[in-house]
């Protein structure tokens, strides 16, 4: 069905496990950002299970690479690694 969510066929337990893993990966990335800058400065990185599974200066190319590896990009953390942290004032 066009427009259906990729999560619509998942049971609640699977969705909760994905949510928890996403949060853990996001926290791992934040905790290790200074070390990651040494290798991935000004790049987008894909994180799954607390590991960098891909990187690129172009987010579209990174997502394409993940799909070619049969890794759904909507199930993982994709983040840009800037030279410094930014504080957003809204």
Domain boundaries, given as residue ranges, for the chain: 12-81
Q: What pLDDT is stored for residue 4 in this prediction?
A: 52
Residue pLDDT tens, the chain, 90 long? 455 566 667 888 989 999 999 999 999 999 999 999 999 999 999 999 999 999 999 999 999 999 999 999 988 999 999 987 767 787
Q: What pLDDT is stored for residue 45 in this prediction?
A: 98
Contacts of 67 (CB under 8 A, 6+ apart): 73
Cα 73 to chain centroid distance, Å, stands at 7
Strand order in the sheet with 51-56: 51-56, 43-48, 77-81
Q: What pLDDT is stored for residue 11 in this prediction?
A: 86
Q: What pLDDT is stored for residue 85 in this prediction?
A: 72
Q: What pLDDT is stored for residue 90 in this prediction?
A: 75
Contacts of 10 (CB under 8 A, 6+ apart): 18
Q: What pLDDT is stored for residue 7 in this prediction?
A: 65
């Amino acid at each position: 069905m066009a427009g259906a969510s990729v999560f619509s066929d998942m049971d609640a337990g699977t969705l909760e496990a994905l949510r928890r893993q996403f949060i853990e990966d996001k926290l791992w990335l934040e905790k290790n950002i200074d070390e990651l800058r040494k290798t991935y400065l000004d790049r987008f990185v894909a994180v799954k299970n607390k590991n960098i599974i891909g990187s690129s200066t172009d987010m579209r190319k990174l997502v394409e690479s993940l799909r070619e590896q049969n890794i759904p990009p909507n199930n993982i953390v994709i983040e840009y690694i800037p030279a410094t942290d930014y504080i957003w004032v809204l």
